[in-house]
Amino acid sequence: MVSILWFKRDLRLADHPALAAAQRHGPVVCVYIVEPDYWRLPDVSGRQYDFLRESLDDLRAALRSRGADLVLRVGEAVALLEALRQETGASRLFSLEETGNAWTYARDRAVGAWARGQGVRWAELPQCAVRRGRHDRDDWSKQRNRWIAEPPLPAPNRIDALALRSDPLPDAAALGVSDTCPERQRGGRNQALSLLGGFLTERGRDYRRAMSTPLGGATACSRLSPHLALGSLSVREVAQATAARQREVRGTREGWSGSLSSFQSRLAWRDHFMQKLEDEPPIEWREMHPAYRGLRDAPDDERLDAWARGETGLPFLDACMRSLHATGWLNFRMRSMLMAVASYHLWLPWQVTGRHLARLFTDYEPGIHWSQCQMQSGTTGINTLRIYNPVKQGHDQDPTGAFTRRWVPELEVVPDALLQEPWRWDGPTRYPRPIIDVADAARQAREAIWAVRKGEDFRDHAARVIDRHASRKDRHFVNDRAPRTEKRRQDARQGSFDF
């Protein structure tokens, strides 16, 4: 009996439970569906689609080397799956669960309704420790550790698959999402494996020290985040490869142990935030704490435009935004600063700025992105306010000015001592004056947020949240062998998508 294997954010053959399950039921149709309606959403972009196309090319080559092929179809998922059912007589559908945005979740519900109506048995299997539906939250960390410890499923040597026609794969322009990202990472499993090997044997030694800086982090971080977002590598594969490397360096003085431990913690926090969106889907569009709803209503269009283009007159902030435009990647601390300055100093709604950043990140992962947007905007009600000073961050994270000067060439004539505050220099420059007074804007934002926090509704809601979480055993669920100092916990919470 023929089965359909529907690839989504799982573009690999190794450690793929749905592929293994489908093969046990006879011939397989391996399909990927390009959905134009998805690519019309405001949180996706051409750089993400181009990365996807490269990943699909890699997956197709891997399938062909095993006697199969990837069937590409363009259109609406339910209609195309029904066409495949009629074309092949398939009575089973296999896929891995996808933690995407609200659109993909609604699409999956529509596919489920179609499957039930047509008598198609849809097996939707987990691809990581994240669980959909009801689960025991108290034991979640133990479940994750068990999942990570299980041996990854090997890629099959041969796949019994039907050869069907494919639609031409549209380019980004045809979908209306083309954009310019000249230094974007390239997609595909081969790229991912090369990055993983280089990180674990060379680049990752200084991970813990260098990940906070935009220049050092670009090299010292693993750069696996876009590959994890599209599933060309599984989290389990990465965690187990890292654990093997940890065993190799144990007892040595090569400086690896702390960095690898931090990386494992961030992999765990990545799963944690993915689970958070599964548990609370409205995080994508609604403030987690109701007291903050409506606090930042309509954006100031001039401020929003200046922030989005990297022309706020705040050099380090603008350098980070321009770098993100050109590369599709930024280290976590600088992502946090972009979001925090937008939310506090510029007082812009996090939903609007969050969509802009989502489009710029090649590694956009909804399960992480929206939780982080709310955390850095102070709307969770449970996290410490982090009002980054972009001038201080420039001094701290770019002490030589190399990063700022690269991305803001208008400042080439400004002396080093005034690079992060060029408005204090008397000489001529093409660079705009700052659109805000940093200290005054931060003060106003802090007063507005604390006014909410002092309210009775805020305190009552916070008490209920604390009571609900008090008995949970997974509050600090990072690996039991990892150090538990408060600084390490803060480091782990900071990093979830910069890898």
Instruction: Output the known binding site for FAD.
Output: 207, 219-225, 263
* Interatomic CA distance for residues 236 and 427, integer angstroms: 55
* Interatomic CA distance for residues 285 and 287, integer angstroms: 7
Task: Count the Cβ atoms, other than its own, within 10 Å of residue 410.
Answer: 15
Q: Do 4 and 31 form a contact (C-beta atoms < 8 A)?
A: yes
| Nearest CA-CA partner of 55 in 228, 237, 235, 271 | 228
Task: Count the Cβ atoms, other than its own, within 10 Å of residue 309.
Answer: 12
Rg (CA), the chain: 23
> What are the two backbone dihedrals, phi and then psi, of residue 32, each rounded to the nearest 5 degrees?
-125, 135
- Residue 30 pairs with which residues in a beta bridge? 5
| Nearest CA-CA partner of 227 in 454, 12, 33, 76 | 12
Query: What does DSSP assign to residue 155?
Result: P
Q: Do 343 and 446 form a contact (C-beta atoms < 8 A)?
A: no
Could you tell me which residues are annotated as the binding site? Answer: 207, 219-225, 263
Query: What does DSSP assign to residue 161?
Result: B
Residue 383 region by backbone torsions, left for phi larger than 0, else alpha for psi between -120 and 50, else beta? beta
HSE at residue 45, side-chain half, CA atoms within 13 A, is 20
Query: What does DSSP assign to residue 156?
Result: P
Secondary structure of residue 443 in the 3-state scheme: helix
Q: Do 292 and 379 form a contact (C-beta atoms < 8 A)?
A: yes
Q: Is the dihedral of CA 478, 484, 488, 493 positive or negative?
A: positive
Q: Is the dihedral of CA 224, 225, 227, 233 positive or negative?
A: positive
Residue ranges of alpha helices (H) inside 150-188 are: 172-175
Q: Do 230 and 187 form a contact (C-beta atoms < 8 A)?
A: yes
Task: Count the Cβ atoms, other than its own, within 10 Å of residue 89.
Answer: 9
* Interatomic CA distance for residues 471 and 458, integer angstroms: 21
Pairing of strands 71-74, 92-96: unpaired
Q: HEC states along 97-153?
A: CCCCCHHHHHHHHHHHHHHHHHCCEEEEECCCCCCCCCCCHHHHHHHHHHHHHCCCC
- Residue 72 pairs with which residues in a beta bridge? 32
